[in-house]
Amino acid sequence: QELAREMQSKVSFLIEPVSTNEEAVRGADLIVTATSSLEPVINKDWISPGAHVNAIGTHSPNSREIDSATMAAARIFVDRRESALNESGDYLLAAKEGVVNPDSILGELGELLIGAKSGRTSSTEITLFKSLGLAIEDVVSADYLYNKAQIQNAGTWVNF
């Protein structure tokens, strides 16, 4: 509740504290998981048709934020296919249960950006981006934020 109060004045959308993961997910159009959980933190039954999930937390073969039912139902995109197939517990554990396979990963983020792959094809599809992180994503993000900070004269320069 304290975090919601503190952040509310800094954003243009409503921040509403909730008591459970289910409360946070039900009715959401955009769901972001950024945890180190070993077990799923969301459940397919809580996800609305047409929602998008950014699964950016867990990054080992034995941990997962996303349940198998969600992985099976979603249009899955990744930052790098090879990494997802070998390192993503969200994918590997669902594959071990037989609900996804390599063809379940429809494309990489770069393929979406250049139009080589199609993203959402209907307003009711659940889409999911599983990120394990790539150095280039960090470099581009840092460059964007650095330039934005310069324009806004924000931040403090630190010499190392």
Q: How far from the centroid of its chain's Cα atoms is residue 79's Cα?
A: 10
Order the strands of the 52-55 sheet from edge to edge: 30-33, 52-55, 127-130, 75-78, 105-108
Tokens of 86: 């070998």
pLDDT digits (tens, 9 = 90+) for 12-27: 989 999 999 999 999 9
Residue 156's pLDDT band, with cuts at 50, 70 and 90, is confident
**Mean pLDDT value across residues 57-73:** 95
Q: Is the pLDDT of residue 136 over 90?
A: no
| Cα(93)–Cα(34) distance, integer angstroms | 18
pTM of the model: 0.84
| Helices first, then strands: H and E counts in the chain | 7, 5
